[in-house]
Every structure is written in structure tokens, then in C-alpha cells.
């Protein structure tokens, strides 16, 4: 706008100079011409900012690409006609990345959930049979391992520092094309999907396609900040919405799987939804925030603590709750059996209650992905 305004000012000044030159004395005409020349000189002196250079990912890819692997999964399927006595094997492909030199790899749980055999291929074409050490359906994170030493590894970052608008890079095996590099920006943080209510996904516009599941999402410092696991699309292919599990959460899941073989999550025993604005106004809340309780599990932690439908949970252990999805995630992060302090809104005023969380039941087999 500033450049356009300057051009318009100069056009007007030039017209005035021509008009006044035709109806004024020579001295005045020369004065107007001098002013026009000065305005032109001033405009010419204004520096036009050079376009920002696009990022170069080549060093990042050369450094950490060797730590990204292709994961091939074989699942034995029985024949539809038992009399034939024959079955067949269904193969699928995904991605993963090495997090320790002795062969520990992070990938997607839905990729290896029903696997009868898992083969990992490194960028140098070496292949390894793989052991599934553990998987967690709620976060879609799995830990697998190959029997090898001195392997290249990625560098793990801090997903809490990810900012919308920053550049990110994925390296994976879409459609089996290993070590494919795609890039984009972070579109949003803390996105919750219906199928994964306990994961505050990082949303990006990085092209992610079948075979990218389990691939690392890098920031510009070459640090992994997420695991690409899902897309939101009206077709089987990418349409600009991809989602990654934050690496901070993935590391917590990995540590629990390696330590005890499973992940334990807290359970409050309530069903909640976002608070509608009309209801916030009617109950006297100054702003639309918190999680509205719409159902309470019988004999669950919330019921024993005295929570009722219609209550609004405003905070947990002093941390403000803005939406229902945030409450689910924070409750899940609490160790089962822990005492949790809830600040709620009831009948036009706030009050504190304490609940002792139970353990969240684990889900069954995978359903179709979003």
C-alpha cells in the first residue's frame, strides 16, 4: 500500500506541474518542475525489499534422511472359503525413524497393529526383520526394533515450541517411494480428531500420502517435532490437511512402552462437550471457557467426587481448561490413582472438588482411519 500511495502521489504531482506550467510565470513553472524532480528522486531512493529467500532443506535431508526407514508389514489373511485351505498375505508400507543407535524405531501403531511380519529397509538398502516392542492405539505410536548397532539417528526436538506458520519437513515413503521429502508450514496446534481424543495434533499442510504414516516431521533446526500419522480428506489422497503426533507425547508413550509394555492413562468418568455461548451467558460465566459435563459414569471417579451433568469444569490442578478436548488430554496425562483438583462452575459460582482418577480402558482393534 505504501508503494502504491507513493506512485499515486507522484502522478498527481506531475499533473499539477504540467497544469501550473501552462498558466503561471516561468519562475513558478521552474519551481514546480524542481519539486517534481525532488519527489521523483525521493521515490527512487526508497528501497524496495527483496523477496525473502525460500528455505533450503538439503542439509537437513542429507544429515537426517539416513535415519528414516521404510516399514513393510505383512499380514496373513485366511481364505474366505475354509475348504480351500489356503490363505494369502497382504502387504502394506509405511515409514519410521531411528531414535537410538541400537535400532529402536518410532512408527505408527495402526501400521503394525495386525502385523505377522515387519521388515525395515534403511536408506542404504539394508533390510532387517523387526520386533514390535509395543504399541499404543490411543496415540497411534508404536515402538519397533531391529537387531543392529551404530545406526544413524534423528534428533528429537520440543514440540511445545512449534509455532503456526513455521516451515516443517516430512521424510517418508509415500506409495513406496522411499526417502521422499515434502515440506509445508504448521497450520495449527492442539487439533483434536474424533478418533484420537487424547492427542493434541500438530496440523500442517505438508503433503502426506499413504506410506507416510510413521514418518518424522522436522523443524528447520533438523529436530523431529512430530510423527505424521493421519490426513483429513474426502479422497484417499492428500488434500492439504495432515496431522502429526507431537514428539513430546510420543516420547512419553515410548518410555512407558519400553518400561512396562503399555501406557496407563487417567480416567475421570465423564462425557463433556464445548460450552455453548448461550449457556455460558445463562449460567453467568464471564467468558466461554471450560468443559460442559453432559454425562457422568455411574460409580466412576467423577460421580464419587460429586460432579453432576450441567457442571462446567474450568481447571484441573490449576491449569485452565478452554475446551472439552483439552480436559480429556490433561486427565489422560495424570497417573491413575492420583488425586486431582478440579475447579468447577455450578449455580452461578465456582467451587473446588477433588477426584481420584481410575485407569482408562484400552481400545480394541483399529477402525478405519480419518
Considering only residues 300 and 6, tell me which one the structure prediction assigns the higher pLDDT: 300
Interior/surface letters 72-86, b for 16+ CB within 10 angstroms, e for the rest:
bbeeeeeeeeeeeee
Residues 104 and 186 in one domain: yes
Q: Are residues 165 and 289 in the same domain?
A: no
pLDDT in tens, 72-124: 999 887 766 666 667 777 888 999 999 999 999 999 999 998 888 999 999 99
Quick: pLDDT tens for 196-241.
Answer: 888 999 999 999 999 999 999 999 999 999 999 998 888 777 888 9
Number of domain units in the chain: 3
Q: How far apart are CA 243 and CA 299, in angstroms?
A: 36
Residue 16 has pLDDT above 80, yes or no: no
Domain end residue (candidates: 237, 262, 287): 262
Task: Examine residue 366 and state whether it is found in any structural domain, yes or no.
Answer: no
Question: 18 and 55 share a domain?
Answer: no
Residue 365 lies in a domain: no
- 252 C-beta neighbours (distance < 10 Å), count: 16
Residue matched to cell numbers 509395543: 134
The Cα–Cα gap between 153 and 44 comes to 52
CB atoms within 10 A of CB 91: 10
155 forms beta bridges with: 223
Question: Is residue 368 assigned to a domain?
Answer: no
Which residues on adjacent β-strands are paired with residue 216?
A: 227
- Whether residues 313 and 210 fall in one domain: no
Q: What is the mean pLDDT of the chain?
A: 85
Question: How many H helices and E strands in the chain?
Answer: 8, 21
Q: How confident is the model at residue 186 (pLDDT cuts 50, 70, 90)?
A: very high
Tell me what the mean pLDDT of segment 24-38 comes to: 57
CA-nearest of 64, 335, 336, 326 to 201 is 326
Is 55 found in the same domain as 32? no
Domain encompassing residue 35: 2-45
Question: Residue holding cell 490413582?
Answer: 337
24-33, 165-174, 192-201, 224-233: range with lowest mean pLDDT: 24-33
Pair 41, 54 in one domain: no
Give CA separation, 37 vs 24, 26, 40, 253, in Å.
18, 16, 5, 69
Angle between helices 2-23 and 26-45 (to 10 degrees): 170
pLDDT one-digit tens code per residue, 268-280 = 999 999 999 998 8
User: Domain check: are 67 and 189 in the same one?
Assistant: yes
Q: What is the largest CA-CA distance in the chain?
A: 111
Secondary-structure percent of the chain, ordered helix, strand, coil, rounded to 5: 25, 35, 35
Assess whether 252 and 270 both reside in one domain.
Answer: no
Of residues 4 and 100, the one with the higher pLDDT is 100
Name the nearest CA neighbour of 109 among 127, 94, 130, 122. 94
pLDDT of residue 47: 57
Q: Residue 222 belongs to a domain with what CATH number?
A: 2.40.10.120
Each residue's pLDDT tens digit, 279-305: 888 888 888 899 999 999 999 999 999
* Contacts (Cβ under 8 Å, ≥6 apart) of 122: 66, 69, 128, 151
Query: Which helix or strand (DSSP H or E) is residue 230 part of?
Result: strand 223-231
Of 325, 262, 258, nearest to 136 by C-alpha is 262
Q: What is the CATH number of the domain that holds 337?
A: 2.30.42.10
Residue 7 lies in a domain: yes
Closest CA to 153 of 195, 100, 199: 100
User: So what's the pLDDT on residue 238?
Assistant: 84
| Residue-wise pLDDT tens digits, 130-162 | 999 999 999 999 999 999 999 999 999 999 999
Q: Do 36 and 137 belong together in one domain?
A: no
Query: Is position 364 within any domain?
Result: no
Question: Is position 63 within any domain?
Answer: yes
3-state secondary structure of 191: strand
- The residues carrying an active-site annotation are 110, 140, 213
Decide if 285 is inside a domain.
Answer: yes
Amino acid at each position: 500500500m505504501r508503494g502504491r500511495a507513493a506512485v499515486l502521489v507522484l502522478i498527481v504531482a506531475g499533473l499539477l506541474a504540467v497544469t501550473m506550467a501552462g498558466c503561471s510565470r516561468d519562475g513558478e513553472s521552474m519551481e514546480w518542475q524542481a519539486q517534481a524532480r525532488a519527489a521523483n528522486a525521493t521515490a527512487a531512493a526508497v528501497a524496495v525489499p527483496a523477496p525473502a529467500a525460500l528455505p533450503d532443506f538439503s542439509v537437513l535431508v542429507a544429515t537426517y534422511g539416513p535415519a528414516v526407514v521404510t516399514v513393510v508389514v505383512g499380514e496373513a489373511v485366511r481364505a474366505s472359503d475354509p475348504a480351500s485351505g489356503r490363505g494369502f498375505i497382504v502387504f502394506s508400507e509405511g515409514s519410521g525413524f531411528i531414535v537410538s543407535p541400537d535400532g529402536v524405531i518410532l512408527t505408527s501403531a495402526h501400521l503394525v497393529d495386525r502385523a505377522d511380519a515387519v521388515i525395515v529397509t534403511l536408506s542404504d538398502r539394508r533390510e532387517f526383520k523387526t520386533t514390535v516392542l509395543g504399541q499404543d492405539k490411543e496415540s497411534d505410536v508404536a515402538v519397533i526394533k531391529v537387531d543392529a548397532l551404530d545406526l544413524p539417528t534423528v534428533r528429537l526436538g520440543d514440540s511445545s515450541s512449534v509455532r503456526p506458520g513455521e516451515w516443517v519437513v516430512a521424510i517418508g515413503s509415500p506409495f513406496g517411494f522411499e526417502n521422499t521429502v515434502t515440506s509445508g508450514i504448521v497450520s495449527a496446534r492442539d487439533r483434536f480428531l474424533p478418533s484420537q481424543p487424547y492427542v493434541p495434533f500438530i496440523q500442517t499442510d505438508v503433503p502426506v500420502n499413504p506410506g507416510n504414516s510413521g514418518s518424522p516431521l522436522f523443524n528447520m533446526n533438523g529436530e523431529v517435532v512430530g510423527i505424521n500419522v493421519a490426513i483429513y480428506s474426502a479422497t484417499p489422497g492428500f488434500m492439504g490437511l495432515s496431522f502429526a503426533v507431537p514428539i513430546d507425547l510420543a516420547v512419553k508413550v515410548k518410555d512407558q512402552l519400553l518400561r512396562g509394555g503399555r501406557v496407563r492413562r487417567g480416567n475421570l468418568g465423564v462425557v463433556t462437550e464445548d460450552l455453548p455461548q448461550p449457556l455460558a451467558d445463562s449460567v453467568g460465566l464471564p467468558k466461554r471457557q471450560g468443559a460442559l459435563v453432559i454425562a457422568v459414569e455411574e460409580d466412576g471417579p467423577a460421580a464419587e467426587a460429586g460432579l453432576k451433568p450441567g457442571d462446567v469444569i474450568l481447571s484441573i490442578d490449576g491449569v485452565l481448561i478452554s475446551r472439552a478436548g483439552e480436559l480429556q488430554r490433561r486427565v489422560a496425562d495424570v497417573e491413575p490413582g492420583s488425586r486431582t483438583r478440579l475447579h468447577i462452575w455450578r449455580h452461578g459460582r465456582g467451587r473446588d472438588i477433588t477426584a481420584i482418577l481410575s485407569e482408562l480402558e484400552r481400545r480394541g482393534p483399529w477402525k478405519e482411519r480419518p
